[in-house]
Amino acid sequence: MAKTYGFGLLGAGLVAPFHAESVKGSDGGRLVAVCDMSRERADGLAAKYGVKAYYSLDEMLKDPAIDIVNVLTPNHLHYDAVMKCAAARKHVVTEKPPAMSLRETDEMVAACAKADLKFACTVQCRVRKAIQAMKRALAEGRFGKLLHADTYMKWFRTAEYYHSDPWRSSRQSGAGVTVQHAFHYIDLLQYLAGPVKAVEAKMTNLAHPSVKLEDTLLAFITYASGAQGVVQASTALWPGTDIRVELNGTDGTAIMMGERMVTWKFREEKPEDEQIRQYGSASQGTAATGPAAFGHADHQMVIQDMIQAIRENREVIIPVSSVRPTLELVLAMYQSAARSRRVELPVKDDSSIWEM
Ligand SMILES: NC(=O)c1ccc[n+]([C@@H]2O[C@H](COP(=O)([O-])OP(=O)(O)OC[C@H]3O[C@@H](n4cnc5c(N)ncnc54)[C@H](O)[C@@H]3O)[C@@H](O)[C@H]2O)c1
């Protein structure tokens, strides 16, 4: 019988049930424990899934039944947790953004590599069928010369959301629409159309005066290929509508809305195109209207892949190293907005960004 792999969740907050359900629904994974410094949260989620509760990561890491730790703590706490997991020789699935700086990201990647551990990041939108179809079409040259790669995230979050936990309104903790919410869609642009050569960004707070954060990002991207792109991302726009990712080339256009492929048109039609136009479902939430208004299917694919990658001793589909350029682009956006100027990549210093 194939070995099963034990998962321990660090953090029992908003995103934890998505990971718990993903492990529960996986082939070869089993949830062993949940850890949160809030006893109430740890006990609540552990009871729901009939698993052990821990209140400190150090204690959970001693559990030999745990092979993989899912790091689901606030953004600024990922680094310390991942470094501890690597030292304890546990594979890691970390939530996005992987860390707060490139230095931290490089150290985490190196620590996991040195210990021969898998290290994945849940920028799970990459696994959507529509995104994978776009990726294949780009590789096949079906767009011709790529001219535009854009994303639009017109979401809404209440003032209460920003005050539901102190970290959600603290830039030093990794809050702000750019690094927190839009990270996924900036990642998709980088994944599909990167690398990026330069960025100009403007950040404003349109509708959340009680927090000192940007709730709106406007950015103009120049890709190394010569293509251009825009990012419009906001949590100010009630009631919130589905995100869009748009690619336009000399020979084709593709548009994903939410997870649906709403436009898929090429000068040269292929037999599979009609099926690709059916990808996605209008009823599947993609977090436009609220922080938990989405399904766990994408997370489940990342979790399942982690199990397969360990079994087959191969790289995971979304290694953290592949998300580093996204973090770099996000950091460049903050620098550009703070200094009101275009920023070229690679960024020179990334340590002081959260002090701006
Ligand atoms: N991939 C996605 O679609 C998605 C969606 C939501 C959140 N996230 C990410 O998931 C992470 C968590 O977000 P959330 O919304 O669940 O936050 P949250 O505040 O709801 O939950 C975080 C939990 O971590 C716990 N915690 C903090 N420090 C701890 C420590 N040292 N030891 C043990 N527990 C500790 C807190 O008590 C809290 O319960 C963030 O990185 C966020 O960006 C990703």
**Of 61, 95, 155, 303, best ligand 1 pocket probe by most atoms within 8 Å of the beta carbon:** 95
* Closest atom, ligand 1, to C-alpha of 165: 19
254's enclosing H/E stretch is strand 252-257
Closest CA to 104 of 324, 329, 342: 324
As beta bridge partners, residue 148 has 228, 248
**Of 10, 36, 164, best ligand 1 pocket probe by most atoms within 8 Å of the beta carbon:** 36
Q: Would you state the pLDDT for residue 7? A: 98
**Of 56, 73, 169, best ligand 1 pocket probe by most atoms within 8 Å of the beta carbon:** 73
Q: What is the CA radius of gyration of the chain?
A: 20
58: burial class by Cβ within 10 Å (0-12, 13-18, 19+)? exposed
Mean pLDDT of 150-166: 96
Residue nearest to atom 25 of ligand 1 (CA): 11
Whole-number Å distance, alpha carbon 174 to ligand 1 midpoint, is 11
Structure tokens at 321: 């190293």
Q: Would you state the pLDDT for residue 355? A: 59
**Are the C-beta atoms of 63 and 52 separated by less than 8 Å?**
yes
Residue nearest to atom 7 of ligand 1 (CA): 15
Residue nearest to atom 38 of ligand 1 (CA): 13
Rounded CA-CA distance 344/329 in Å is: 10
Whole-number Å distance, alpha carbon 266 to ligand 1 midpoint, is 41
Q: Which of 129-133, 290-294, 333-337 has the lowest mean pLDDT?
A: 290-294
Structure tokens at 72: 């689901």
- Angle formed by the axes of helices 16-24 and 297-312, nearest 10°: 60
Residue nearest to atom 27 of ligand 1 (CA): 73
Cα of first residue to Cα of last residue in the chain, in angstroms, is 54
Q: What's the full length of the chain, in residues?
A: 356
Whole-number Å distance, alpha carbon 81 to ligand 1 midpoint, is 12
CA angle 335, 339, 345 (to 5 degrees): 40
Q: Which residues contact 149 (CB under 8 A, 6 or more apart)?
A: 189, 192, 193, 221, 223, 227, 228, 229, 245, 246, 247, 248
* Closest atom, ligand 1, to C-alpha of 123: 1
pLDDT above 90 for 334? yes
Whole-number Å distance, alpha carbon 72 to ligand 1 midpoint, is 4
Instruction: Compute how many other C-beta atoms are within 10 angstroms of the C-beta atom of residue 266.
Output: 17
pLDDT above 70 for 354? no
* Closest atom, ligand 1, to C-alpha of 183: 43
Q: Would you state the pLDDT for residue 351? A: 60
356: burial class by Cβ within 10 Å (0-12, 13-18, 19+)? exposed
Whole-number Å distance, alpha carbon 227 to ligand 1 midpoint, is 35
pLDDT above 90 for 183? yes
Query: Cis bond leading into 239, ω under 30°?
Result: yes
Give the distance from CA 13 to its chain's centroid. Answer: 17
Residue 289 pLDDT level (bands cut at 50, 70, 90):
confident
Closest CA to 106 of 81, 83, 75: 83
Rounded CA-CA distance 175/162 in Å is: 9
pLDDT tens digit string along 27-47? 999 999 999 999 999 999 999
Whole-number Å distance, alpha carbon 143 to ligand 1 midpoint, is 38
Residue nearest to atom 14 of ligand 1 (CA): 14
**Are the C-beta atoms of 9 and 72 separated by less than 8 Å?**
yes
Please give the C-alpha separations between residue 314 and each of 45, 65, 83, 118, 218, in angstroms, as whole numbers: 32, 22, 21, 9, 38
State the residue for tokens 């949590």.
235
**Of 14, 213, 301, best ligand 1 pocket probe by most atoms within 8 Å of the beta carbon:** 14
Structure tokens at 230: 């825009």
Quote the pTM value.
0.97
Rounded CA-CA distance 60/33 in Å is: 8
Mean pLDDT of 112-121: 98
As beta bridge partners, residue 34 has 9, 53
Rounded CA-CA distance 333/84 in Å is: 30
Rounded CA-CA distance 137/267 in Å is: 12
**Are the C-beta atoms of 309 and 315 separated by less than 8 Å?**
yes
Whole-number Å distance, alpha carbon 297 to ligand 1 midpoint, is 19
Whole-number Å distance, alpha carbon 217 to ligand 1 midpoint, is 23
Q: For residue 219, give the amino acid letter.
A: A
User: Which residues form ligand 1's pocket by a CB distance below 6 Å?
Assistant: 10-16, 35-38, 41, 57, 72-75, 77, 95-96, 122, 124, 165, 180
Mean pLDDT of 175-193: 97
